[in-house]
Copies of this chain bind each other. A is one copy, B any other.
Amino acid sequence: MPELRKDPIIGRWVIISTERGKRPHDFKKVEEPAENPAECPFCAGREDSTPPEILALRSQGKPNGPGWQVRVIPSISPFLKRDAELWRKGIGLFDLIGARGSHDVVIETPQHIANMADLDSSQIEAVFSAYIQRTKELEKDEAIKYVLIFKNYGYKAGGSKIRHSRSQIIATPVNLKRVKEELEGARRYYDYHERCIFCDIIRQELEDGRRVVLEEDGIVAITPFAPRFPFEVWILPKKHRPDFSRIDEEEKKNLAVVLKKILTKLKSLLNDPPYNYVFHTAPFRREHKGYWTTIEDDYHWHIEIIPRLTQVAGFEWGTGFYICPVPSEEAAKYLREEK
């Protein structure tokens, strides 16, 4: 029988079809629009076809020339700008705020490779280093409340026709709703139990085992108990830490290995599907007028990966009610067995 499951962090119910769940090969190959790699502006040697870089990891060469490993440039169509004024205004019962912030594009490799799954784990580690450096730089701007790191891989996942592997960093002057809900849910749990809900989830999932995709070197990958999408995967570090940007070198390295493994499993199991990943991390914690805006113990950073396999949703947008045709236990089993 199908059942309704509740996400314990934000309290969302989802319908899980447990009886006639779909199998991986039930999902059709998602077609991508044609691209001409020769026109890719992100490949090494074509640095002059992008805005000047904000940051580059390079062992050789000059800024805005070849020789880089990872390169961060401003988005050519930024919706939030570093130099925008941070005005605030109320119009009757409506609130608005100036679009201060930033919108960067992280070019993850000098070569024309589309899927992050096909990068070496050392290359993925360098991408994480770029994320962390940029986040620390953005933290210096007191107007910035949150830094959102995410990837749109494939056209159906919001990517562009140019498939060169890259991700985005958006810095916002407000806390995002979904982030706030997660923080509030985690804090509610912490207030009562005096334990982190993510630490408890990791503990329970490792004991249970059915939703664990892999566990190695302090990193756990699970399919969430109440997934919104088939084959949704969360990657969580066992070490409790609110901010991604504070991880140590060892964790960064292990995380890159695990992310590569998970992306590779998704690619081979599901026919190279479009996907999104989002880093869930705490907002900047600054001492304001004597109190910290977020406390240390109640939030636990992690990565959520969503393959985009299902027909674009209809009423989900309006209702927050999801129907997932693959139980997490089955998704985890398939992913565990896949190389």
Interface residues of chain A: helix, strand, loop or mixed (majority): mixed
Interface centre among A3, A148, A226, A318 (most CB of B within 10 A): A318
Nearest chain B CB to A98 CB, angstrom units: 6
Task: Give 19 CB contacts A-B under 8 Å.
Answer: A3-B98, A4-B99, A6-B96, A6-B174, A8-B95, A13-B174, A15-B99, A92-B204, A94-B204, A150-B319, A157-B312, A157-B314, A158-B313, A158-B314, A170-B321, A176-B320, A176-B321, A177-B319, A179-B320
Quick one: closest B residue to A153, CB to CB? B314
Contact B315 A95 (CB under 8 A): no
Quick one: closest B residue to A278, CB to CB? B318
A96 and B3 contact, Cβ closer than 8 Å, known pairs A158-B313, A308-B312, A318-B276: yes
A13 contacts which chain B residues (CB < 8 A)? 97, 172, 174, 176-177
Contact A319 B80 (CB under 8 A): no
* A53-82 with Cβ < 8 A to chain B: 79-80
Contact with B along A1-23 (1 / 0, CB 8 A): 11111101011110101000000
A143 at interface (Cβ–Cβ under 8 A)? no
A200 at interface (Cβ–Cβ under 8 A)? yes
A291 at interface (Cβ–Cβ under 8 A)? no
Q: How far is the CA of A191 from the CA of B170 in the complex (A)?
A: 35
Nearest chain B CB to A151 CB, angstrom units: 8
Quick one: closest B residue to A322, CB to CB? B177
Contact with B along A300-323 (1 / 0, CB 8 A): 000010101001111101111101
Contact of A8 among B94, B306, B313, B320 (CB under 8 A): B94
Interface residues on A, range: 35 or more
Give the top 8 A-B pairs by smallest Cβ distance, nearest first: A158-B314, A278-B318, A178-B320, A152-B314, A177-B320, A2-B99, A150-B315, A6-B95
A158 contacts which chain B residues (CB < 8 A)? 311-315
**Copies of chain A in the complex:** 2
Contact with B along A171-184 (1 / 0, CB 8 A): 01110111101000
A156 at interface (Cβ–Cβ under 8 A)? yes
Nearest chain B CB to A236 CB, angstrom units: 15
A225 at interface (Cβ–Cβ under 8 A)? yes
A159 at interface (Cβ–Cβ under 8 A)? yes
Q: How far is the CA of A84 from the CA of B158 in the complex (A)?
A: 38
Nearest chain B CB to A327 CB, angstrom units: 11
A98 contacts which chain B residues (CB < 8 A)? 1, 3-4
Q: How far is the CA of A156 from the CA of B310 in the complex (A)?
A: 11
Q: How far is the CA of A80 from the CA of B16 in the complex (A)?
A: 10
A221 at interface (Cβ–Cβ under 8 A)? no
Given contacts A6-B96, A172-B321, A178-B319, 7 further A-B contacts (CB under 8 A): A5-B96, A12-B177, A92-B208, A148-B315, A280-B318, A304-B318, A308-B312
